[in-house]
Structure 1
Amino acid sequence: MPLAAQSLGRRERNKQAKLERIIAAASELFAEQGVDEVTTQQIADKADIGAGTLFLYAKTKGELLLLVQNAHYATALANGQAAAEKTPGVLGATLAIIRPVVNCNRVHVDNGRTYLREMVFGDPREPHHAEALKIVAQTEQAVAGILSRDEAITDADAATLARVVSSIMFLTMASAVNPHTGTEEIIENIRGQIGAILPR
């Protein structure tokens, strides 16, 4: 048993195990059927818990999707940051951060669009919505750090531009409703928009 698990009490380990089962069940069902077609009862059954227990972890199906997608988004962001460290140029490094996020969002197009909608219109008092916004803020901080490489961009301008880049990324992903639109096509669209706002 890992040390981290050993340091938790039995109750906390049980809660963590249930959470992991919920994430695995919801992730699999959402990927197979799409979030709109899956019921919370199906998720509870697959996770081998009661429906009431499920609602202790997420009160709505939208929150369940946020719970699942937040984990994927966080991984995508970490991969993008690692790629950006090795990528020269402000525009190239910014796109290196964005590419894995777009990839993540396009795994299941309808789920990706629902996730974006939940991020914008979900209940900010819910923990998984708050976590999604935190990841968005981390993305903007990472992009601001890249933009600050350009001596012509002040730290304050980098933060503002990073917010604009974030808006471009999310709006472009949300508007790409055709499931056959590939990641590279979306990235090229984003590249053109970001290139237009960067100092020349």
Structure 2
Amino acid sequence: MQDYELTDAIYRSRKTVLDMVEKRGFTTTAYRNYSSREITYMMSSPNGDALRMDLPHRSGTGTCVVLYYLTKLKQKLKTFLETLNDPEKPEYLDPATNEIIILVAEPVVDTFHQNVLENYLNKKSRAFIFQIQTIVNDPSKHFLVPKHEKVPAEEHAALLESLYLKHKAQFPLIRFHADMQARYLGLVPGDLVKITRPSPSAGEYILYRVCTP
């Protein structure tokens, strides 16, 4: 990909990223008004490090850190994630208080899903990887994609009771990280998502899925 194409993709996808994390409860105002020229300048930093964004949660309970990795990451992904989880490294991001979004210029294939899952299961680190070009347009707003909403954890018990279910495993599945909507919402195993589809007879049809590894 030519530099100007990547610059354009980064600039256009930035709104999607900010909208996505804002829906998760993070404050995005400080990063909303950068121009394409400023984005181009930041890209000239080593591996695009100046593009990093640190977005505080509105509740004051944590931070969403958006990282860009503009060179090939696939073969180095496991080491890269381990570095972010190592308290002895300057790149360390405490998994207890940070969500991490990593934006890459290469396709997000099975290797990425597997490593991110291992990272979560072993360290409880919430990292989500997106190919920049795939979020130039907001994937949650595609006309073929029904509305997805994360169900707050405090509502899980009441929801199970209302549906006469004994445990979450009785819900249909949505796959952690491999499913674009699960990744967009920041779902981790055990989370529930509400999906609202249009229905010719009832107006809308609501179903729920549970996020699984």
**TM-score, normalised by the number of residues in structure 2:** 0.28
**TM-score, normalised by the number of residues in structure 1:** 0.29
Considering fraction of residues, name the structure with more helix: 1
Considering fraction of residues, name the structure with more strand: 2
